[in-house]
Amino acid sequence: MKYLYLLGILSLFSFSSPAQSKDEKEVADAVEKLRQAMIRKDRATLENLAADSLSYGHSGGKVENKTSFVENIASGKSDFVKIDFSEQTISVVNKNAIVRHTLHADTNDGGKPASIKLKILLVWVKEKGEWKLLARQAVKLVN
């Protein structure tokens, strides 16, 4: 009986997930704000979330700075109709955070509907108490 009780207690610990730290929660919130701003084409939020020295890499090799990233999303040139993330991990080290996830999106660039699935790496930096997107790199998934 003691063995079953001990096994039950240990199983509770093995299935529990560690709680997010305050910084991890803040980064997760910033990632969600970015996702929503990209769908809504929200220029002000995109400008606020992006670091001035943003390097935004696309899966096709194109790299944008903050100005071109914000303009292409806000103008609808890069048109995200729907964006979902899965398999997201967040690692915070001092004032930096690394976020990885799989992006599933429906786009309508140039009036051409498409669905994309990419692996994404985001690097965030904490500036004056706020998390800013410093770098992003996308990689195409081979089906």
Residue type, 33: K
Domain that holds residue 70: 20-140
Comparison of pLDDT for 46 and 18, the residue scoring more: 46
Cβ contacts of 124 within 8 Å, gap of 6 or more: 27, 30, 96, 97, 98, 99, 131, 132, 133, 134
| 3 state SS of 66 | helix
Q: How many domains is the chain partitioned into structurally?
A: 1
79-101 average pLDDT score: 97
pLDDT per position as a tens digit, 75-87: 999 999 999 999 9
Q: What pLDDT, on the 0 to 100 scale, is given for residue 142?
A: 74
The rounded distance, in Å, linking the Cα atoms of 68 and 73 is 8
Q: Is residue 1 part of a domain?
A: no
Could you report the per-residue pLDDT of 3-19, keeping only the tens digit for each? 444 444 444 444 444 56
- CATH no. for residue 60? 3.10.450.50
